[in-house]
C-alpha cells in the first residue's frame, strides 16, 4: 500500500497557502476538498507556482488547452489531478493565460488522499461486474477507467468507473477496485424525448432535458446546445437579453411538467430548430450556424398576444408579425395575433409554427458566419433570398409535397397565415408584388433597398432551376433539373452562397458563383449547369 506522501505535502501546502487565505480557498463538503478561485495577483502567483510543482510531481496533468474564443490571445489550460498516476474524480484546475502570464486559476483539488493504489482486480473484471448488473458487455475500447473517487463521507476509494447505456438509462458506475462492490452509481441521463403539439396541432417529438423535476426545452441530443426560452410576454426582458444586459437562466426555459408539451409555439420553435440543424448536417454536412456547432437559442412569447391592440406599430411589426435572427445564434419568433384579429386581410399564427420561417431565420445565422452578405440593396436581397431558398428546401426535406398546411411548397410562411397564402412566393413572386425579373427590381431605399422585395429575383431563379418553366416577365423557358434532383440545386446555391459570394455581392456575382458551383459539383455542360445558367438568364441576371 502506498500512502500518499505527496498528499501529506499537499495538506501542509494547503494549510499554509489555502486556509491562511480563506478568500482563495474554502473547504466544502468532502473533508479534503478545496476549491480554488485565485484572481488576485498574489494568489495567482502562488497557484501558478503550485501548479508548476504539481506538474513536476505528476500530481497534475494538462488535459487540454483551449484558445479563448472571445478574448484574442488568451488560452485556458485544464488540468486533472492525479494520485500515484491515477486520476482523481473531480480534481481539476483551470488556468487562464495571456502571453505566458497566468491571469486566474479556478478549480477543485483534493488533499489527504490515502488509498491503496494497487487494484485487486483488473478493469476487465469490473466490466464483468457491470455486465452482471446491466446485461451490457462493454467493448474493449470502453473498459472501465481506474480512478480515485472522493467519497461523500470524506474518504477516498480506488474504483473503476464505467459508463453504460442501457435501453432505459445511462448509468455511471464506480466499482471498488479492491472488493468489486458498487461504491456509487447514478443516472447520467438528463436528456429525454418528449412529445408535444405544434402550432398547427401536429404532434411531434421534442428533445428536452429533465432538470429539477421539470422538463425544459434544452436539446442535448444534437451536437450543439439548442435551447428555447419562454420570455413570458416580457418585451422589456426580451430586449434586455438581446442587448446583453441580462442572462437567461433555468427558470427562463420553456418548460413542461410531464414532457407532454402544450406550449405550441415553444414546441415548434424547439423542434424546427433541431430539424433545421439536421437538414444542414445531412444535406451539406454542415455543423450548425458557424459550422462549429454554435448554440442555437430561440425566444418565444416575446410579447403578450392579448396586448396587441395597445402596442405601437413598431412593436406590432417586429414582435407580433415577424421573426428575426438577432445574431449569435439567437432567434426571436413573433407572437402572431389573436385568432379573431386580422392584419393585411390574414390571420397570423405564432411565427415559430412554420418550418420555412424557422429555417429562414437560422439561415441568416449561416450567412452571418459565411459570406456575411451585407443586409442592404442587392447583397441584402441575396441574403434574404438564400434564407428563403433554404427555408423552402428544409420544408421539402421534411414535409410531403402539396398544397395545404404542413405541406412542402414554394410559398414562404404559409403555415402561419390564414387563409393559406404566406407572404412570398418563389414560384410566382409577382403574386405578392415582388419582382420576378431583374428589370423590375425595386430601386428605392425602403426595406434596406428592398431586401424582402428583390429577393424574389433570386428566389425565382432557384425555383426555375429546379422545377423549370417560363419566367412570366421575360417569357424565357428553363429546363429545370426536376424535383427529384432538387438537392443538386440546393447544393449549388449553398456552395455559392456560403463559400463563394463576397459580402457585397450583386445579382451578377451570384449568377457567376452559382454557375461556377454547378460546374464544380456536376461538371461543365451538365444538366445542373444548364439549368442554373438558363434560370439566371430567364430572370434577367446576366
Nearer to another protein, 261 or 442 (CB): 261
| Contact (CB, 8 A) for 353 and 316 | no
Q: 10 Å Cβ neighbour count for 245?
A: 9
Q: Indicate if 55 belongs to the active site.
A: no
Q: Which is nearer to another protein, 271 or 426 (CB)?
A: 271
CA 339 to CA 348: how far, in whole Å? Answer: 8
Q: Are 449 and 470 a contacting pair, CB within 8 Å?
A: no
Q: Look up cell 429545370; give the residue.
A: 480
Distance from C-alpha of 124 to C-alpha of 129, rounded to nearest angstrom: 9
Beta carbon of residue 223, minimum distance to another protein (angstroms, whole number): 6
Length of the chain: 542
Cell reading at 450: 428592398
Contacts of 275 (CB under 8 A, 6+ apart): 355, 358, 359, 394, 398
Please, which residue, 2 or 282, has the CB nearer to another protein? 282
Q: How far is the CB of 269 from another protein (least distance, A)?
A: 15
* Nearest Cα residue to 281 out of 271, 267, 291: 291
Least Å from the CB of residue 399 to another protein? 12
Cα–Cα distance list, 177 to 3, 30, 82, 86, 104 (Å):
16, 21, 17, 12, 36
Residue 212 burial (C-beta neighbours within 10 Å; 0-12, 13-18, 19+): exposed
Residue with smaller CB distance to another protein, 240 or 399? 399
Residue number, 9 or 182, with CB nearest to another protein:
182
The contacts found for 51-57 with CB under 8 angstroms, 24 or more apart, are 51/79, 51/93, 51/95, 51/105, 54/79, 54/81, 55/79, 57/6
Residue 113 beta carbon to another protein: minimum distance, rounded to whole angstroms: 34
Query: In this complex, which beta carbon is closest to another protein, that of residue 223 or of residue 523?
Result: 223
Angle between helix 507-522 and helix 486-495 axes, rounded to 10 deg = 120
Residue (of 349, 475, 513) closest to 416 by Cα position: 349
Note the residues at the interface with another protein (CB under 8 A). Answer: 134-137, 165-168, 193-195, 203-205, 207, 221-223, 274-275, 278, 281-282
Continuous segment of H or E residues that includes residue 70: none
Nearer to another protein, 78 or 204 (CB): 204
Concatenating the DSSP letter of every residue in 179-240 gives T--EEEEEE---EEEEEEE-TTS-EEEEEEEEETTEEESEE-SSSS-EEEEE-TT-HHHHHH
User: Closer CB to another protein, residue 275 or residue 308?
Assistant: 275
- From the candidates 77, 361, 378, 414, which is the catalytic residue? 361
Grid cell in block for residue 17: 497557502
**Cα three-residue angle 445-446-450, rounded to 5 degrees:** 85
Active site residue 364: no
Three-state secondary structure along 344-368? Answer: CCEEECCHHHCHHHHHHHHHHHHHH
Residue in 77, 301, 452, 467 annotated catalytic: 452
Cβ nearer to another protein, comparing 53 with 282: 282
Q: How far is the CB of 395 from another protein (least distance, A)?
A: 15
Residue 49 and residue 58: Cα distance in Å, rounded?
14
Tell the smallest beta-carbon distance from residue 489 to another protein (Å): 23
Catalytic machinery residues = 361, 452
Amino acid at each position: 500500500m502506498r500512502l500518499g506522501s505527496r498528499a501529506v505535502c499537499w495538506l501542509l501546502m494547503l494549510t499554509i497557502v489555502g486556509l491562511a487565505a480563506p478568500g482563495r480557498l474554502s473547504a466544502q463538503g468532502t473533508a479534503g476538498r478545496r476549491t480554488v478561485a485565485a484572481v488576485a495577483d498574489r494568489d495567482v502567483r502562488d497557484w501558478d507556482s503550485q501548479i508548476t510543482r504539481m506538474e513536476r510531481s505528476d500530481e497534475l496533468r494538462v488535459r487540454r488547452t483551449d484558445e479563448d474564443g472571445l478574448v484574442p490571445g488568451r488560452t485556458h489550460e485544464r488540468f486533472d489531478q492525479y494520485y500515484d498516476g491515477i486520476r482523481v474524480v473531480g480534481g481539476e484546475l483551470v488556468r487562464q493565460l495571456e502571453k505566458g502570464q497566468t491571469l486566474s486559476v479556478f478549480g477543485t483539488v483534493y488533499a489527504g488522499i490515502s488509498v491503496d493504489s494497487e487494484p485487486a482486480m483488473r478493469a476487465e473484471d469490473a466490466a464483468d461486474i457491470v455486465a452482471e448488473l446491466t446485461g451490457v458487455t462493454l467493448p474493449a475500447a470502453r473498459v472501465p477507467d481506474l480512478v480515485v473517487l472522493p467519497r461523500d463521507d470524506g474518504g477516498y476509494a480506488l474504483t473503476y468507473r464505467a459508463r453504460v447505456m442501457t435501453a432505459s438509462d445511462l448509468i455511471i458506475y464506480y466499482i471498488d477496485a479492491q472488493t468489486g462492490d458498487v461504491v456509487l452509481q447514478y443516472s447520467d441521463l438528463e436528456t429525454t424525448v418528449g412529445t408535444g403539439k405544434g402550432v398547427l396541432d401536429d404532434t411531434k417529438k421534442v428533445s428536452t432535458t429533465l432538470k429539477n423535476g421539470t422538463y425544459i426545452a434544452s436539446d442535448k441530443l444534437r451536437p450543439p446546445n439548442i435551447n428555447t426560452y419562454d420570455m413570458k410576454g416580457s418585451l422589456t426582458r426580451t430586449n434586455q437579453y438581446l442587448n446583453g444586459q441580462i442572462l437567461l437562466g433555468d427558470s427562463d426555459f420553456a418548460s413542461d411538467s410531464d414532457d407532454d408539451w402544450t406550449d405550441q409555439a415553444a414546441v415548434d420553435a424547439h423542434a424546427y430548430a433541431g430539424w433545421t440543424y439536421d437538414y444542414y448536417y445531412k444535406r451539406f454536412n454542415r455543423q450548425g450556424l458557424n459550422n462549429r456547432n454554435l448554440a442555437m437559442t430561440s425566444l418565444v412569447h416575446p410579447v403578450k398576444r392579448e396586448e396587441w391592440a395597445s402596442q405601437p406599430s413598431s412593436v406590432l411589426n417586429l414582435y407580433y408579425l415577424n421573426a428575426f435572427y438577432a445574431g449569435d445564434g439567437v432567434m426571436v419568433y413573433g407572437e402572431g395575433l389573436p385568432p379573431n384579429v386580422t392584419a393585411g386581410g390574414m390571420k397570423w399564427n405564432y411565427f415559430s409554427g412554420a418550418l420555412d420561417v424557422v429555417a429562414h431565420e437560422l439561415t441568416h445565422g449561416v450567412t452571418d458566419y459565411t459570406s456575411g452578405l451585407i443586409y442592404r440593396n442587392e447583397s441584402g436581397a441575396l441574403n434574404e433570398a438564400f434564407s428563403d431558398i433554404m427555408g423552402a428546401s428544409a420544408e421539402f426535406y421534411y414535409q410531403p409535397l402539396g398544397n395545404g398546411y404542413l405541406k412542402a411548397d414554394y410559398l414562404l410562411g404559409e403555415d402561419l397565415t390564414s387563409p393559406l397564402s404566406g407572404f412570398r412566393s418563389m414560384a410566382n413572386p409577382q403574386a405578392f408584388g415582388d419582382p420576378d425579373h431583374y428589370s423590375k427590381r425595386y430601386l428605392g431605399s425602403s426595406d434596406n433597398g428592398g431586401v424582402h422585395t428583390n429577393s424574389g429575383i433570386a428566389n425565382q431563379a432557384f425555383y426555375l432551376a429546379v422545377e423549370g418553366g417560363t419566367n412570366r416577365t421575360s417569357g424565357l423557358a428553363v429546363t429545370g433539373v426536376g424535383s427529384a434532383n432538387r438537392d443538386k440545386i440546393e447544393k449549388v446555391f449553398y456552395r455559392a452562397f456560403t463559400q463563394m459570394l463576397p459580402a457585397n455581392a450583386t445579382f451578377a456575382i451570384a449568377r457567376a458563383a452559382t454557375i461556377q458551383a454547378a460546374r464544380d459539383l456536376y461538371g461543365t455542360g451538365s444538366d445542373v449547369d444548364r439549368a442554373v445558367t438558363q434560370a439566371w438568364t430567364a430572370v434577367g441576371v446576366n
